[in-house]
Amino acid sequence: MMNESTGLGDRVEIEALRAEFTDAAMMNDHVRLAALFVPEGIVRIPDAGIEAAGRDNIEALGRGREERFEVFVQTTHPGAVSVSGDTASGRAYLCEVIRMSDGTSHLNYAIYHDRYRRTPDGWRFAERVYEIRYVDTTPLAGGVPGGSPQVTDGPQHPQSS
């Protein structure tokens, strides 16, 4: 619920940040994804024993995911946001379809528990904690059309190297 100190603009910017995260992950733009965090930001995936602290480690986590996953589709849905001055917290709900390079599969329904911080560059993640609520490891029947990822027209972002 919004209180008087919570501006609509802050909520819109935080939702845009969460959307940018999903886009960067889907496009394997690991540098852009890491830049969405404050320099000392943290990603935690407790169920997998994963923690990456700092932009370099967050970038490396993304690169490792890309190397291990043959198929990765993440759909994120809006969730709660609570703003207090230059900090905020919130949740985003997501579904992931994953096929690992070893052929195993995962269909996950999860929650990102987030902490955000306002910076001179806008809102950034201070912490993202991934909580799996449901996982199905049944082998996926589908695949990538044509056998390789397809890029479609969309917002253009500078390619990171």
* 105: β partners: 99
Whether residue 37 contacts residue 124, with contact meaning beta carbons closer than 8 Å, is answered with yes
Q: Does the domain made of 8-140 have the CATH classification 3.40.50.1110? A: no
| Angstrom distance (rounded) from CA 60 to CA 57 | 5
pLDDT averaged over consecutive 10-residue blocks of the chain (161 residues)? 62 96 97 98 96 98 95 94 96 96 95 98 98 96 71 52 43
**Predicted pLDDT at 145:** 82
Instruction: Quote the distance between the C-alpha of residue 42 and its chain's center.
Output: 12
List of residues 6+ apart from 46 with CB closer than 8 A: 129, 130, 131
The whole-model pTM stands at 0.85
